Structure 1
Amino acid sequence: MKWTIQFKMVVLFSVIVFIGFSALLILSNRVAQENMYREVREDMVQSKKNLDIALNQYFLIHNKRISKGSLEAGSRELEEQIGSAVGGKITLYRPDASKYGTSTSEDKLAKQTVLPDLKEAMQSRIAYTTMVDQGRVMASLSFPIQSDQQLVGIVQLEKDYTDLYRRNLRFQDTIKLFAAAIFVFVFIASIFISRKITQPIRVLTKRSAEVAQGSLNADIQIATKDEIGELAASFTVMIDRVREQIDVIERERDEVKQVQARSKVFFDNVTHELKTPLTTILGYAQILRDNGFTDPDFFDKGMNYIIKESRRLNTMVADILEVSVSSAVIENYRFSSVDVSEIIREACEDMSIKAGKYNIGIHYELEEELYVQGDRDKLKEVFLNLLDNSVKYSDVNSIIEVQATREQQFIAILIRDRGEGISEEALNYVFEPFYQEKGVNRIEKGSAGLGLSIVKNIVERHGGTVDMKSIMREGTQVHIRLPGERNT
């Protein structure tokens, strides 16, 4: 049998309340009885005082002296007057516990057996007895009457306390009814409260089952500010983390697919780029072998083509190796504290000779002491590649601007040229190896399309970013950000 938390809570609350109310009823019954007996005792004490006053008044009014004879003669009158004065039944007894006005021995024995307070009065002591019989409560008070220090009689007062006893019973019944009503209320309330408390647990159980079945869209609407609410919040966070991890796995899977696709394109491009110069070299070599040296002009032309294509092939192979090396482990880099402004200045001066052939000027504005942790040769290669591209694709008689500034903890480098520009579509692929924009002949420009890929790889290995912006027929801007060091 499966005992739910709600069932256990209801049973536990019911047992606790039942035990509590049972103890309360027992205690209240005992207290009520003690109160009743205390009232009887106090009333008996007051009745004794009233009896003394009434008894003295009687003998004073009738000018009599307390003695056995006066008690014997006026016993009935005395019982009636004193009884009416104190509100109870008065009985006068001789010292031997027999009633005044009778001599029957049966009466004497009966009184001695039923009323023990008479025995105490026969010993000149005051005593009272409380008796409960069939729903009636009677109290009997006996005290001695003395004359000249001699016991001459006993006065016994009997009072009925049945009304007090019944009031006590009604009070007990009221308490019991109230306790029963409270118990029923607590029982019903415990059902609703336990249902309310366990509702979030049932929701969590249901959602956990859904998650176990593979559904990660479980919506948990629990807003309680307690441990269950914290558990629900943690469960929601766990589901979100699992969902995020799955999204990451799916993105990585898509990225792997894209990498595989790019690798295929890279391989196809490499094959194509290598095949073209090899085909030219092979064709001219076969013609030269067949024709020999009979045609000097053709021989010179063929040799020039072979040398040119061989050099281009050598450049492409070197670039491919560079891409491979730049993609290798970071230990191949020799990091040290280097001044980027000094490296950029050297690169600009080195490229100014080539730029001068096309009447292109290179102007640079560099802040001093822009230190970074990097490989000096690799960083110089980055700036040479970018400046070389700017020279190739800039308009004649234009200016290439280079700036380097510190922006908080980063070193920002800007290279801007005035040239034909790059289309918006091509900007998304310019850093991929062997990418060739439609309408642009890279062979004529002397590029195999690996320079920007190498630039991106080196910059990222230095913890930086490279970005390119361009407007057609206006020019191109390259932004580089490298993590800098504090000036020393």
Structure 2
Amino acid sequence: MFPFPLTRDHGKGRLGKLPLFSDRNRGMPPKKRFTQRVLVFTIGSLALVFLALTLNFLRREYQLLEQGMRDKLLHIAATAAQSISGEEHEQIRGPEDPAFLKFRSLLRRIKRANHLKTELYTLARDPENPRMTRFVVMTNEKPFFGDRYPETDGLWRAFESGKPQTSAPYADKHGSWVSAYAPIKSKDGRVVAVLEVDQRESHLAALIYREGWQAFLFSLAILGIALPFVIRFGNSLTRPIKDLCRMTRRIQNGKPFEALPESKILEIHELQLALSKLAHVLRDREQLIQEKLQTLEETDVLRRNLITVVSHELKTPLTGIVAAAEFLATIELNEEERLEFTQDLLLQSHSMAAILDRLIQFSALQARPLPHQLEDIPLPRAVEDSLESLKQEVSQGHFEIGLMGLDGLWIRGEESRIRRALLEVLKNALEHSAHSRKIQIEAHQNGSSIELRIRDQGTGISDETLESAFAPLSQDGNLLVGKKAGLGMGLPLAKLSLEGIDASLEVESTGPKGTTILIRFVAGTPLLHAPSIAGESKKKPAL
């Protein structure tokens, strides 16, 4: 559709200079496709959302598992501490003490019953150092009775408050732990020792790892279910953009514009409207350019025809003028011969002047297409004046002019143009009448229009040249061979003279027996006290 690509480096035309890209972006490599960005962004956002949900789930799960582990250890410690007598515990003096063996056996049963993998201990405060404690009973195979151990925050709180306590995860030289502490009391309520139950933090991490894998697989399944919907949603966003890009490429490559499906997204819909308007503007511009190109081609053809026709038409009178002038200048002639050559000079000069006059009139009519004023004109007078201008041609050719139906008809228009049109049509009929010398002029009123027909019995207009009969400088037959090719300005000049006064000219019929030219005028209004017009005659002899 568009004969040129809408790129910046196209030719030197106005469209080729459109700043499609700013100077800042010119020369940069092509960016990623918008559709890919939308899909990647959408899928990435969804993945980040699921990742955030998974991490939040793991954090909550960790807190719950940690709290559950503390509660379990606290329950084990509290239950075990209540099973130990404070007075007996105070009497333990070594690993061979019966109370030691008794309580170690008790603690081992509690360990097995609760599936603990770490050891249980009882610790008493060191009387020599209040911030240190000493191991008393432990479930280990190799006892370390009396070894010192720093008093942790959980131990201190259990000793001071006399209530079971738990600790946050902490680390020492043996690893990371979560611990619970329960006070061992005497009958009088005095805290004599504290029972400690430990669990390695790695056990909590293993539980979190297992729960995390379950959460990850669950999130992955949800992501797999949601992915088709995400892709569909992304396509619903990017499909209008793809349509816009495709249509932009079609316009850029000069292909026809096609309607776009209306988008429900306001911004994309506005882009579609803008692109549609742009396409229509470009289409109108292209049509205007094509019309201008066609006009230039027609003008070029007209120029070539003008040069050919005018040179041919001027050659004959110019040759006669040169020959007559040479005879007058070089040969002694008598008075009669000198008069004959002088008359020939005048005749050829008048012929050249007539050709130039028609060209000037045609140019003037093109420059001033609208009339100055319209008036009501009697049709008989306009026809009589035109025939009077052709009096010499009618007389020399012995033509017989027939008039019919002209009386009482008035037409509206510009008189000078009407006379010019009638003169050109009548002159064309006289020039192309062959053996027959009869020309019929008929008129009648048809509603609000007057139809005037000028019919000759000449050679007619061939079918090949009928369409171009009103084109300037068009001629039927070979220009250089025809006997009376003429300038080819008669009918075009007549048609151009009638433009702007609501009149029209057309070839009604043609053929080997002559041509009928139909002229339609707007019916005029007879003027009051109008001067009388000569009556019509069925046949008008040679004037």
**TM-score range with shorter-chain normalisation?**
0.5 to 0.7
Shift of 1:440: 9.0
Question: Structure 1 CA distance, aligned partners of 2:321 and 2:221?
Answer: 108
Match of 1:276 among 302, 316, 326: 316
Report 1:314-353 matches (<5 A).
Answer: 314-330=353-369, 335-339=372-376, 342-351=377-386
Shift of 1:433: 4.3
Shift of 1:381: 1.6
User: What 5-or-longer segments of structure 2 have no aligned partner?
Assistant: 1-30, 53-217, 528-543
Shift of 1:220: 5.3
Question: Structure 2 CA distance, aligned partners of 1:440 and 1:310?
Answer: 22
Q: 1:435 to 1:404 in 2, by over 3 A?
A: farther
Report 1:361-376 matches (<5 A).
Answer: 361-364=402-405, 370-371=411-412, 374-376=413-415
Q: 1:437 to 1:201 in 2, by over 3 A?
A: same
What amino acid is the match of 1:338?
Answer: E
Aligned length: 326
Report 1:248-327 matches (<5 A).
Answer: 248-294=288-334, 296=336, 298-327=337-366
Q: Which residue of 1 aligns with 2:462?
A: 423
Report 1:186-201 matches (<5 A).
Answer: 188-201=228-241
For the Cα contact (< 8 Å) 2:379–2:410, is it kept in 1? no
RMSD, aligned α-carbons: 4.9
Q: 1:208 to 1:318 in 2, by over 3 A?
A: closer
Q: Which residue of 2 aligns with 1:153?
A: none
Shift of 1:237: 5.8
- CA offsets 1:91-146 (integer angstroms, 9 cap, x no match): xxxxxxxxxxxxxxxxxxxxxxxxxxxxxxxxxxxxxxxxxxxxxxxxxxxxxxxx
Q: 1:377 to 1:442 in 2, by over 3 A?
A: farther
Shift of 1:446: 11
Question: Structure 2 CA distance, aligned partners of 1:321 and 1:18?
Answer: 88
Question: Structure 2 CA distance, aligned partners of 1:268 and 1:418?
Answer: 28
What amino acid is the match of 1:217?
Answer: K
Q: Secondary structure at the match of 2:469?
A: coil
Report 1:3-152 matches (<5 A).
Answer: 4-6=37-39
Q: Secondary structure at the match of 2:374?
A: strand
Q: Which residue of 1 aligns with 2:495?
A: 456
Shift of 1:366: 8.3
Shift of 1:188: 4.3
Q: 1:462 to 1:206 in 2, by over 3 A?
A: same
Question: Structure 2 CA distance, aligned partners of 1:347 and 1:441?
Answer: 35
Q: Which residue of 1 aligns with 2:443?
A: 402
Q: Secondary structure at the match of 1:217?
A: coil
- TM-score, normalized by length of structure 1? 0.52
Question: Structure 2 CA distance, aligned partners of 1:281 and 1:17?
Answer: 104
What amino acid is the match of 2:255?
Answer: N
- CA offsets 1:156-181 (integer angstroms, 9 cap, x no match): xxxxxxxxxxxxxxxxxxxxxx9999
Q: Secondary structure at the match of 1:208?
A: helix
Q: Which residue of 1 aligns with 2:400?
A: 359
Report 1:188-227 matches (<5 A).
Answer: 188-209=228-249, 211=251, 214-217=252-255, 222-224=260-262, 226=264
For the Cα contact (< 8 Å) 1:364–1:403, is it kept in 2? yes
Q: 1:347 to 1:368 in 2, by over 3 A?
A: closer
Q: 1:192 to 1:389 in 2, by over 3 A?
A: same
Identity of aligned residues (%): 20
- TM-score, normalized by length of structure 2? 0.48
User: What 5-or-longer segments of structure 1 have no aligned partner?
Assistant: 20-177
- CA offsets 1:392-427 (integer angstroms, 9 cap, x no match): 4454345222345456xxx56442403121112233
For the Cα contact (< 8 Å) 2:379–2:411, is it kept in 1? no
Q: 1:438 to 1:431 in 2, by over 3 A?
A: same
Deviates more, 1:439-448 or 1:412-421: 439-448
Q: 1:443 to 1:188 in 2, by over 3 A?
A: closer
Q: Secondary structure at the match of 1:279?
A: helix
Q: Comparing both structures, which one devotes a greater share of its residues to helix?
A: 1
Shift of 1:361: 0.3
Which protein has greater RCO, CA pairs closer than 8 Å, 6+ apart? 2
Q: Which residue of 2 aligns with 1:239?
A: 279
Q: Secondary structure at the match of 1:292?
A: coil
- CA offsets 1:53-110 (integer angstroms, 9 cap, x no match): xxxxxxxxxxxxxxxxxxxxxxxxxxxxxxxxxxxxxxxxxxxxxxxxxxxxxxxxxx
Q: Secondary structure at the match of 1:335?
A: coil
